[in-house]
């Protein structure tokens, strides 16, 4: 037993590492510019700054978020592909570079053109000359166009329409400008390197983003949220308390319903009680939770369809009581949690009742029940002392299996009832592309899932002595 548990526990570690790598790399491919979001949260006004100052602020935040480091310990790319693309800032520029790279496999050319453009803008930004400022805007547009053919067309137009030689600008700027256009429009020959598409292995350093994240995550520091600058840990723990407070009610309620109604139906098999409860639980099982929730809020929480139907308080626990401690918060919020807990427990009980019933029917035919009855013990004692313990195993399995899911919070319920729990937090973070929060939640859930499964294995053995784990 001990060795079995140890072995399982050891298996958790590689699974978690794999999970973290997958989610980390996936979250990096997701759209959105983290730096811009971060700047917006801080309320920094970057519009009024000059180009250089903007660049400086951007690169500072970029470094602060650790984005100037390579993504992972190593990378494998096609040979023509630069392995230093992560150093390019800002994200919009990186995306255009990537798009151009896709169309023209010539990294040197792309770098050259971008360098020229930057040099030009640095020297000539905030010019008073209308002609030059028009040209600069055009050039900025060119470098924001992902389609290389379109960008080239824009450059050709620019060269043909504007008379660079006649504008009154310093000699240096003029040189830079013509240099830029010449470089951009130089004969576009595709790189003919035969090995261009061969996979190449680049070893990056240990000082990479994943390593950095992992180092902090081991010390349970998941960074700060990109949307409001709060620590991720604090956001998650607040949400967890809200979710737990109604999930625990729902869990206890559905456990009670499942055991009492399940045993009842099994005991009165094929009588009217059984038919009524079994049918209604089967029907309820097919009712989507979000329909149930919407039906409840539309019909039961407002006066719209008559005062007599306004049974439950208005939805939403809100965030108005930030200043209260959590006991006061619960006292204030609990009435609003009753309806969601009720719905969730009904939904959970629908499948659990069937599970208990099916097990109990089999058990009722077992020899030990016949013996107990022959001995003449009361029916109540038979059900509660003999039958109940033996039906606990499958329901334990179901409950334990469903726990991580319940902890993740029912996203739809929390969105419908406006509860600031885990599901709601996930929903909001995903919509706002707040990856640090999403990532931390996935990891937390992964760890919990594995631990709960391990505990489940141990618990089975405690409940049912017949189960013996072999450390094969």
Partner 1 sequence: MKTKHSKISVNLSIMILILFAMVAIFAPFLANDKAILCKDADGLHFPVVSGQKCEHPEFSLQPFVKYHYSGIDPQNAAFISPLADQQLQPGQQRHFLGTDRIGRDVAAGLIHASRVAILTGTGSMIIALLIGLLIGLTGAYFGNDQLSITRRSAVTGLLFIFLGTFLAYYRKYFSGNFGQVLFTLLIFMMGIVLIDDVLKRLKPLRKRFKLPLDIMFSSFIEIFQSLPASFLVLVLVSLFTKASLYNVILIIGFLRWPSIARFIRAEMLKIKEQRYIEAARAIGMSDLRIIFRHALPAVITPVIVAVAFGFSSSILLESALSFLGIGLPADHVSFGSLLSEARKNYEAWWLVVFPGFAIFCLVFAMNTLGDHVSRLMERK
Interface residues with partner 1 (CB under 8 A)? 11, 15, 23, 26-27, 29-31, 76-78, 81, 101-103, 105, 194-199, 270, 278-279, 282-283, 285-291, 294-295, 297-299, 302, 304-305, 354, 358, 361-362, 401, 404-405, 408, 410-412, 415-416, 426-427, 430-431, 433, 438, 441-442, 445-446, 449-450, 453
Smallest distance, partner 1 to C-beta of residue 101, A: 7
Which residue, 79 or 156, has its beta carbon nearer to partner 1?
79
Q: How many residues does the chain have?
A: 472
The span from the CA of 74 to the CA of 285, in Å, is: 48
User: Which residue lies nearer to partner 1 by CB, 412 or 461?
Assistant: 412
Please, are residues 114 and 90 in contact by the beta-carbon 8 Å criterion?
Answer: no
CB of 358 to partner 1, least distance (A): 5
Structure tokens at 388: 């109940």
Q: CB count, 10 Å around CB of 458? A: 14
CA angle 139–142–147, rounded 5-degree value: 170
Closer residue to partner 1 (CB): 164 or 461: 461
Which residue, 176 or 261, has its beta carbon nearer to partner 1? 261
- In the complex with partner 1, the residue whose CB is nearer, 330 or 459, is 459
Q: How far is the CB of 287 from partner 1 (least distance, A)?
A: 6
Minimum distance of partner 1 from residue 104's CB (angstroms): 10
Minimum gap (Å) between residue 190 Cβ and partner 1: 8
Which position has the token pair 């959590």?
326
Minimum gap (Å) between residue 220 Cβ and partner 1: 20
- Tell me how far, at minimum, the Cβ of 63 lies from partner 1, in Å: 25
The Cα 187–Cα 214 span in angstroms is 47
**What string of DSSP letters covers 260-310?**
HHHHHHHHTTTSHHHHHHHHHHHHHHTS-HHHHHHHHHHHHSSSTT-GGG-
Radius of gyration of the chain, Cα coordinates, nearest whole angstrom: 32
**To the nearest whole angstrom, how small is the minimum distance from the Cβ of residue 33 to partner 1?**
13
Q: Which is nearer to partner 1, 244 or 412 (CB)?
A: 412
| Sequence-distant (≥ 6) Cβ neighbours of residue 266 within 8 angstroms | 274, 356, 357, 360, 361, 364
- Nearer to partner 1 (CB atom), residue 82 or residue 119: 82
Nearer to partner 1, 139 or 232 (CB): 232
Least distance between partner 1 and beta carbon 350 (Å): 11
For 447, the token pair is 């760890």
Three-state SS at 48 = coil
Cα-flanking dihedrals φ and ψ of residue 74, to 5°? Answer: -145, 165
In angstroms, what is the minimal distance from the CB of 390 to partner 1?
Answer: 15
Burial class (CB in 10 A: 0-12, 13-18, 19+), 58: buried
Structure tokens at 256: 């009670």
51 or 107: CB nearest partner 1: 107
Cis peptide before 90 (omega within 30 of 0): yes
* Distance of alpha carbon 470 from the chain centroid: 37
- Strands (E) across 193-269 are located at 199-203
Residue 110 in contact with residue 104, Cβ under 8 Å? yes
Q: Which is nearer to partner 1, 155 or 413 (CB)?
A: 413
């Amino acid at each position: 037993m001990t060795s079995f548990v140890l072995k399982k526990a050891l298996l958790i570690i590689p699974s978690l590492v794999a999970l973290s790598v997958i989610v980390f790399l996936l979250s990096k491919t997701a759209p959105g510019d983290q730096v811009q979001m971060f700047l917006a949260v801080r309320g920094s006004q970057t519009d009024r700054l000059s180009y250089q100052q903007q660049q400086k602020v951007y690169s500072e935040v970029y470094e602060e978020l650790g984005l100037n480091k390579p993504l992972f310990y190593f990378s494998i790319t096609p040979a023509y592909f630069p392995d230093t693309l992560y150093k390019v800032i800002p994200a919009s520029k990186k995306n255009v570079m990537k798009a151009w790279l896709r169309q023209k496999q010539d990294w040197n050319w792309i770098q050259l053109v971008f360098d020229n453009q930057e040099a030009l803008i640095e020297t000539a930004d905030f010019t008073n000359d209308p002609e030059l400022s028009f040209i600069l805007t055009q050039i900025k547009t060119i470098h924001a166009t992902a389609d290389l053919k379109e960008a080239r067309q824009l450059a050709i137009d620019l060269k043909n329409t504007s008379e660079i030689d006649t504008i009154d600008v310093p000699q240096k700027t003029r040189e830079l400008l013509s240099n830029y256009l010449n470089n951009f429009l130089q004969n576009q020959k595709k790189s003919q390197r035969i090995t261009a598409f061969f996979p190449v292995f680049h070893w990056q350093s240990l000082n990479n983003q994943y390593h950095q994240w992992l180092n902090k995550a081991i010390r349970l520091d998941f960074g700060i949220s990109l949307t409001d600058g709060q620590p991720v840990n604090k956001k998650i723990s607040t949400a967890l308390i809200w979710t737990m407070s109604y999930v625990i009610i729902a869990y206890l309620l559905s456990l009670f319903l499942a055991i009492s109604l399940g045993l009842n139906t099994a005991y009165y098999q094929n009588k009217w009680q059984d038919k009524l409860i079994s049918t209604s639980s089967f029907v309820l099982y097919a009712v989507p939770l979000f329909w149930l929730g919407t039906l409840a809020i539309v019909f039961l929480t407002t006066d719209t369809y008559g005062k007599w139907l306004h049974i439950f308080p208005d939805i939403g626990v809100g965030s108005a009581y930030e200043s209260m401690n959590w006991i006061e918060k619960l006292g204030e919020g609990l009435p609003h949690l009753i309806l969601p807990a009720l719905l969730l427990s009904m939904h959970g009980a629908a499948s659990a009742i069937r599970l208990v019933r099916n097990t109990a029917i089999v058990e009722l035919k077992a020899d030990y029940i016949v013996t107990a009855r022959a001995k003449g013990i009361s029916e109540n004692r038979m059900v509660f002392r003999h039958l109940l313990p033996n039906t606990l195993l499958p329901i334990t399995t179901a409950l334990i299996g469903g726990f991580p899911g319940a902890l993740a919070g029912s996203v739809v319920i929390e969105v419908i009832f406006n509860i600031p729990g885990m599901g709601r937090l996930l929903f909001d973070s995903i919509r706002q592309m707040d990856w640090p929060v999403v990532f931390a939640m996935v990891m937390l859930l992964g760890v919990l899932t594995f631990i709960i499964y391990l505990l489940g294995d141990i618990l089975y053995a405690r409940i049912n002595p017949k189960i013996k784990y072999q450390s094969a």
